[in-house]
């Protein structure tokens, strides 16, 4: 009978020890990002492909070596005016003005490795996000000031791969620098194919 009681007691002790060792800690963060995207060459010349954005995230640090986080990212609205065009119907000079912005949300998984430098870790990340690009185009007759415009969206999955470093200021605050590549699973008529980013962020662990 004593052996039967010993087995669940040992299991409880094992689970309690591992839960304590895991040191699960929630956290929240904010980062600013420089983003540059690439895609179909014929259309990329018309749009501004360098965007600034911010990201808010929240997640849990499972242990020192692993975390999972959800994120939301929103970019600025950038425009570009292109000149040197002529309207086929009239021969009048024309300009093409474009605007582009995007937002995204998703999930990232990170693995950390400590370094020989105190409080400095390096990490790799992999994740997936839903990316929505909004683009507009206005063609203007520079003689008559007549204009014709169109808007369209690109709504696709993005597969995220990143590397970076994190410096722990204290038990609660840390700074991080991340380089990231996003492969967009786009449709045949979509412009954006991939995205490169550099992010500087701050994180607070509770």
pLDDT in tens, 156-191: 999 999 999 999 999 999 999 999 999 998 766 677
Instruction: State the sign of the Cα–Cα–Cα–Cα dihedral 183, 184, 187, 191.
Output: negative
CATH numbers and ranges of domains, the chain: 24-205 (2.40.160.20)
Q: Do the beta carbons of residue 158 and residue 185 sit within 8 Å?
A: yes
Determine the Cα–Cα distance for residues 166 and 196; give it in Å rounded to an integer: 20
In the structure, how many helices (H) and strands (E) does the chain have?
2, 9
Does residue 195 register a pLDDT over 70?
yes
Q: What is the pTM of this model?
A: 0.83
- The whole-number average pLDDT for the span 71-86 is 92
Among 13-22, 73-82, 88-97, which is the least confidently predicted range?
13-22
Q: Specify the pLDDT at position 9.
A: 46
- Tell me which residue of 36, 20, 176 sits closest to 108, measured CA to CA: 176
48 pLDDT tier (thresholds 50, 70, 90): confident
């Amino acid at each position: 009978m004593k052996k039967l009681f010993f087995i669940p007691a040992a299991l409880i002790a094992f689970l309690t020890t591992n839960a304590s060792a895991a040191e699960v800690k929630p956290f929240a963060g904010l980062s600013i990002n420089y983003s540059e995207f690439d895609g179909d060459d014929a259309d990329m010349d018309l749009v501004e492909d360098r965007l600034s954005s911010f990201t808010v995230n929240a997640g849990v640090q499972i242990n020192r070596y692993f975390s999972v986080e959800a994120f939301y990212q929103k970019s600025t609205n950038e425009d570009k005016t292109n000149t040197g065009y002529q309207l086929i119907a009239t021969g009048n000079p024309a300009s093409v003005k474009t605007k582009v912005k995007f937002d995204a949300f998703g999930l990232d998984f990170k693995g950390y490795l400590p370094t020989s430098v105190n409080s400095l870790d390096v990490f790799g990340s992999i994740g997936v996000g839903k990316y929505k690009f909004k683009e507009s185009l206005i063609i203007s007759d520079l003689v008559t000031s007549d204009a014709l415009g169109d808007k369209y969206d690109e709504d696709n999955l993005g597969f995220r791969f990143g590397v970076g470093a994190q410096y722990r200021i204290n038990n609660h605050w840390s700074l991080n620098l991340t380089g990231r590549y996003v492969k967009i699973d786009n449709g045949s008529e979509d412009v954006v194919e991939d995205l490169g980013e550099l992010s500087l962020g701050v994180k607070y662990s509770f």
